């Protein structure tokens, strides 16, 4: 087996928003008869999670490229933007009005030209859907003519272009309730067939206005981690999204590409006490152990992240200190050093001592003990959680690691720790993770219940900034402003542990292009640059 690093350490966003909170269920293994036979203009790819829809207004492209559709703008390697459907765009001095001119050589696969009215329709539809595409700050989108669309915001919003880079344009003339399973688009690929829980077939869009894909036919099969590795061992797939815990397996005819990732794993820790309160759906809120900041910070300082990356992840990962390590909007002061003596001092100074000699500290009769849950079947989360729990035990904190279903996690995550995963190369994620009005709202953002008027002020200032530089300075202050913040040295609602490399088995002779840094997405980010893939021999 050959190891090589794929992609660039530059944090090339390329549509890795990943603001989903990992709640897509892993697909079941499929019968090998479903697999297509590989030829030099085709590829068979195994990934771990099936999309719920191919409708961009309802989330398709949110965390990966909407390859069936085109977007107005797309990312460059240096985290700026370049035109896609747009040929030009302008922002009014007050930051409220965006005017886009669109190209006249883009066509949907049914032969209809892409018009400004399609773009306006897409944005209005996405806003009305109130799903993973957040356009609540958009007042309206109006087509002035076939080539000009004007978007008016209710307030300046620095992440607007980031949002546009993930919203594929749908056809107004052929959009209905079935679009998500039978989409028409103007992107580099078009859908051939979708067999739920088995596979999706794509073919190259020969009328695409951009560079034509060398890989004409694509079969994406949905497999669990173990089934994907078995398919590689049997030579039945060309590419398989795997995991760090399985990536050390040597397979003749394949090499492993460890793709740099912003995909992270860490504990969410409820910051509120248990006062008998519940979320709107009835889920209990609060934990009387993790609500103590010294408990959260002791875990943060007491964990040896490098050891976990080296041993648990087989070297396929790096220590994590925030939701956006290495990004231009990351505050370097968010990083901390492992310091076990300091962690123990935090506990002792706050009155946590082991009075009964069982190795677990307590305070006022309360043991420093709580549960951390993770989705059953996720070997990486299980292994990272277990390793971190073992290190926390040496501090006198007992973390009981338990695998369970996502349905149960959604009910327990407001009162118990979760081995959660996020990861995105755009700043939107910081906003959704920490804003006070998003806390405890029956979704995966901010289940720990973190609320701060100071943080909210920085978040609002970052969102309403008219320049990237101004926005980044405020994103950094969200993490740490010298006094407080969301960082582990601050209020510590998260204990960040590792950033993962996305371990991918690739058949020798196939190039999967210059993979961008991946975000969270259970394999879907892998296909965001499909039009760059080629067979080399």
Helices (H) and strands (E) in the chain, counts: 11, 24
pLDDT score for 246: 86
What Cα–Cα distance (Å) separates residue 318 from each residue in 184, 263, 315, 499, 501?
40, 10, 8, 5, 8
Mean pLDDT in order along the chain per 10 residues (537 residues): 38 32 37 50 92 90 80 80 94 96 96 97 94 90 98 94 91 95 96 94 94 94 92 96 88 92 92 96 96 98 97 94 90 96 98 97 97 92 96 98 96 97 82 91 89 97 92 96 97 96 94 81 77 88
pLDDT score for 400: 98
This prediction's pTM: 0.82
- Write out the two tokens for 181: 């399973």
Residue 299 sits at φ, ψ, to 5 deg, of: -65, -45
DSSP per-residue letters across 189-211: EEEEEEETTTEEEEEE-TT-SSP
> How far is Cα 450 from Cα 493, in angstroms, rounded to an integer?
6
What kind and span of H or E run contains 460? helix 453-464
CB 55 within 8 A of CB 222: no
CB 302 within 8 A of CB 393: no
Neighbouring C-alpha atoms within 13 Å toward the C-beta of 108: 18
pLDDT score for 529: 86
> How far is Cα 202 from Cα 216, in angstroms, rounded to an integer?
8
Question: ∠ CA(40), CA(229), CA(516), 5° rounding?
Answer: 65
- Write out the two tokens for 266: 């860490």
What domains can be seen in the chain, in order of their start residue? 3-185+501-535 (3.40.190.10), 264-499 (3.10.105.10)
CB 187 within 8 A of CB 61: no
- Write out the two tokens for 161: 């272009």
- Write out the two tokens for 284: 């209990």
CB 438 within 8 A of CB 129: no
What Cα–Cα distance (Å) separates residue 173 from each residue in 110, 179, 342, 422?
10, 11, 63, 36
> How far is Cα 292 from Cα 308, in angstroms, rounded to an integer?
25
> How far is Cα 207 from Cα 189, in angstroms, rounded to an integer?
10
- Write out the two tokens for 349: 């100074």
pLDDT score for 523: 59
What kind and span of H or E run contains 148? strand 148-153
pLDDT score for 8: 33
């Amino acid at each position: 087996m050959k190891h090589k690093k794929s992609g660039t350490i530059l944090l090339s966003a390329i549509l890795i928003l990943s603001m989903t909170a990992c709640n897509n269920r892993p697909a079941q293994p499929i019968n090998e008869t479903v697999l297509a036979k590989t030829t030099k203009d085709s590829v068979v790819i195994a990934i771990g999670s099936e999309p719920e829809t191919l409708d961009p207004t309802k989330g398709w492209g949110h965390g990966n490229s909407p390859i069936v559709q085109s977007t107005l703008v797309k990312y460059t390697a240096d985290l700026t933007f370049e035109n896609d459907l747009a040929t030009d765009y302008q922002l009014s001095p007050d930051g409220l009005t965006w005017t886009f001119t669109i190209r006249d050589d883009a066509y949907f696969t049914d032969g209809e030209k892409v018009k400004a009215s399609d773009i306006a329709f897409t944005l209005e539809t996405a806003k009305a859907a109130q799903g993973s595409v957040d356009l609540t700050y958009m007042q309206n989108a109006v087509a002035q003519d076939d080539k000009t669309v004007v978007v008016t915001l209710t307030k300046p919003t620095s992440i607007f272009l980031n949002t546009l880079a993930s919203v594929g344009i749908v056809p107004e003339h052929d959009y209905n309730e079935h679009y998500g399973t039978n989409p028409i688009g103007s992107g580099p690929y078009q859908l051939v067939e979708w067999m739920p829980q088995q596979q999706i077939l794509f073919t190259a869009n020969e009328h695409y206005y951009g560079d034509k894909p060398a890989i004409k036919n694509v079969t994406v099969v949905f497999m669990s981690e173990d089934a994907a590795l078995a398919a590689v061992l049997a030579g039945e797939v060309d590419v398989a999204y795997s995991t760090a815990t399985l990536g050390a397996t040597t397979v003749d005819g394949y090499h492993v590409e460890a793709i740099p990732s912003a995909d992270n794993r860490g504990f969410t820790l409820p910051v509120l006490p248990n006062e008998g309160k519940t979320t709107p759906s009835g889920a209990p809120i609060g934990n009387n152990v993790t609500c103590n900041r010294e408990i959260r910070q002791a875990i943060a300082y007491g964990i040896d992240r490098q050891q976990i990356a080296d041993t648990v992840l087989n070297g396929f990962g790096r220590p994590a200190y925030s939701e956006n390590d290495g990004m231009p909007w990351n505050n370097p002061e968010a990083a901390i050093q492992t310091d076990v003596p300091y962690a123990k001092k935090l506990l002792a100074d706050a009155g946590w001592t082991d009075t009964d000699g069982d190795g677990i500290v307590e305070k006022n009769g309360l043991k420093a003990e709580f549960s951390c849950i993770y989705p059953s079947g996720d070997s990486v989360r299980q292994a990272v959680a277990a390793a971190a729990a073992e290190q926390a035990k040496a501090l006198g904190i007992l973390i009981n690691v338990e695998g369970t279903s996502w349905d149960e996690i959604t009910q327990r995550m407001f009162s118990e720790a979760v081995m959660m995963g996020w990861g995105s190369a755009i700043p939107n994620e910081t906003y959704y993770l920490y804003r006070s009005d998003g806390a405890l709202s029956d979704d995966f953002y901010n289940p720990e219940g973190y609320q701060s008027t100071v943080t909210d002020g920085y978040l609002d200032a970052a969102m309403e900034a008219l320049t990237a530089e101004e926005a980044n300075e405020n994103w950094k202050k969200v993490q740490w402003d010298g006094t407080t913040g969301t960082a582990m040295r601050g209020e510590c609602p998260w204990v960040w542990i590792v950033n993962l490399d996305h371990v991918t088995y690739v058949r020798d002779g196939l190039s999967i292009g210059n993979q961008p840094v991946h975000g969270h997405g259970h394999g879907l980010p892998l296909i965001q640059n499909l039009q760059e893939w080629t067979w080399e021999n």
